[in-house]
Structure 1
Amino acid sequence: MVRILLPAALLLLAFWVYSIVDCAIVSPTRHRGVSKPVWILIVVLFPVLGGILWFVVGRGRERAPSVYRAPDDDPTFLGSIGSISDQDERIRRLEAELAALDAEDADPDGPPRPAAGSATPDDEGDTPRGAHG
């Protein structure tokens, strides 16, 4: 019986020490769940169960730290805004609208433009169109 218990106890002790060391030296980006000091406390207080929990639940794959990216540096954002031809078409439409607005707001220092349907000063003495007689 001692032949079985002594090696089993040594293996469990080695597993416990390895769990504590692994939990203590692992990068903060590789643990899941609770914080690192809490994991160390769990592994120390519950020798075998804590180590099993650490390797099954707490220890995870390395994840990249979240870094803020400006929208113009984010490839997913850049891919979602459409192609260059869409942007060129939108720019052409906006330029056409701007030209139309500029044509409406012609020289503010010049003579006022007549409203649509009203007679211009040149047409005052003329007969209306289509009324030749």
Structure 2
Amino acid sequence: MAGVLIGLALLAFWLFSLFDVVTTPEDEVRNVPKPLWILIVVLIPLLGGLVWMARGRPRAPRAAWPVPPGPGVPKGPDDDPDFLRDLDRRMRGDDVS
């Protein structure tokens, strides 16, 4: 029974890999031309599918992490109005120390 389940899982993975190669647009395939990927996945079912998943599939576009504004975000000195006011006062010679 376990052998049948493993066999079905391998068959499902192989079919998924083959379908993924066939439906991926030609210009998004990486490293090797698309017809060669199809041959690799068909002739070497498990290893070919794993290599396709790791090296052939198109990469998903990555978005930058959004940085929410808030009190915990440090400011540069040129963005701090208090610092600029103090700097202006010191430059004019109004420094009272």
Superposition TM-score tier, normalisation by shorter sequence:
0.5 to 0.7
Secondary structure of the residue aligned to 1:40 is: helix
Shift of 1:27: 1.2
Could you tell me which residue of structure 1 aligns to residue 26 of structure 2? 28
Pick closer, same or farther for the CA change 1:9–1:21 going to 2, 3 Å: same
Q: 1:48 aligned to 2:46?
A: yes
Tell me if structure 2 keeps the 8 A contact 1:30–1:62.
Answer: no
Could you tell me which residue of structure 1 aligns to residue 12 of structure 2? 14
Between Structure 1 and Structure 2, whose CA radius of gyration is higher?
Answer: 1
Distance across 1 between alignment mates of 2:55 and 2:49: 10
Amino acid at match of 2:4: L
Distance across 2 between alignment mates of 1:7 and 1:29: 36
Residue ranges of structure 2 left out of the alignment (5+ in a row)? 62-97
Distance across 2 between alignment mates of 1:33 and 1:40: 13
Shift of 1:32: 0.6
Distance across 1 between alignment mates of 2:19 and 2:48: 13
Q: Percent identity?
A: 44
Shift of 1:15: 0.5
Secondary structure of the residue aligned to 2:31 is: coil
Secondary structure of the residue aligned to 1:61 is: coil
Secondary structure of the residue aligned to 2:6 is: helix
Could you tell me which residue of structure 2 aligns to residue 61 of structure 1? 59
Shift of 1:19: 0.6
Q: Report the TM-score when normalising by structure 1.
A: 0.43
| C-alpha RMSD over aligned residues | 1.4
Residue ranges of structure 1 left out of the alignment (5+ in a row)? 64-133
Shift of 1:62: 5.8
Kindly report structure 1 stretches of 4+ aligned residues shifted beyond 6 Å.
none
Q: Report the TM-score when normalising by structure 2.
A: 0.59
